[in-house]
Structure 1
Amino acid sequence: MAQAAFKTCEICVASPGHNYCQECDQLFCDGCKISHLRTKMTKNHTFLSGPNINPEVKQYCNEHDENFIYYCRECNTPICKICVIENHKKHDLCEINTSTAINKAEIESEINIKMNKLETNIMVIEQGTNAYHSDVDGVMHAIRQEGVRLKELIDTQVELFDQISERATHNTTSNLTVDW
């Protein structure tokens, strides 16, 4: 059975690299990540972890090759410390982590609202389906009852016809016998 390809740790080159250091632009295994976070210079580095990390997606300003540390609310874009001075001095800024947390909360709220609407719609559909099946059952019952009633009516009419036919035959036979 084929296994999913994985990238190796760029430090020890032995273990799978499941942790991406955004500041160093490198993949780390769990052990090397712990060592990396113990040094004074790199203890505040941020890591992305998990199967969906994409080291090709840079968290750097293309203009200044600096980390994004702020988010400009007016321009709706992440910015570095140099961008703040050059282009965003009087803009409404917040730290990138704060902005990410706010955006995440908003997205989660929207997802919850949509999930609630979806669950409500599913309940309405289920209720409609149940009502439909109940109506179909009621109509089928009414059709069966009408069928029974019509069958009884036909049986009664056939029986009456048989009686009339029998009487007519009897009367004709009686009349013929009397005439002889």
Structure 2
Amino acid sequence: MASSVNHVCTICQDDRVSNEAVTWCSECEVFFCEYCGKPHGRSRLSKNHRTMSVRDYQKLPSLMQKISSQCKDHKKKFELYCSFHACPCCVQCITDKHQKCQNMKPLSDILKQVKLSASIEIFEKDLNDVKENLDNAIKYLKSRISTSNIQKTKAVEEIRSMRKSIDDYINALERHILDDLESKHSKLKSNMSALVQQMEQRASQLNEMQSQFTKMTQYASELQIYIGLREIESMSSRAANFVEDLQHGDHFDKKNLEVDISS
């Protein structure tokens, strides 16, 4: 996107004067006001430099405006081109980074080739072809997105219809299974509750017997202890037999409630 910034003359700015620039020298990379541009255009060293108006400079893409003819690392003008790394180089770059690069060419020769209209036309055609292919691909994919949206809507309707049929069947099946589960659970719970009640009665008797045993050993005579032990032993034996009968039966077998649903 073109820049709309009002550029200031670089020469005047060095003197802390803010005169609006009217031209840009792409070789010096300097903005000139109307006054400073005249000696630059008359100088033997710079009169052949390529300049453009600031208005045209602002039309350049921001990427192009940031491109410099000087090396960022060494602050020297690019003079050579490394074909291996495909980059412009200054003299100092050769020593630092391109000592082993064999195919170094004058940058001016490369730039002359770039300016050939044939090269530009070929690149423009290639760029247009790529853009056209990309546009066609985007158009195709958008049409596929639209088609898939329609297909999704239709599929959702079918799924919901199928879901309603399944829900009706599942609800009826659920009621049947829940009724059967409630019946079996009630029977199992009733049997276990009755057994727990019997066992709690036995446990209560044993608690009372333990309390009597403690008091007996503290306060009873030897005869009372002797007879009491017989009584306690008899009650304890009956309780042990009761537990043993339960263990030998199926009262302690795990009776699980499970639902086995066919796939």
TM-score (norm 1): 0.46
Higher radius of gyration, 1 or 2: 2
Tell me: higher relative CO, structure 1 or 2? Use CA pairs within 8 A at least 6 residues apart.
1
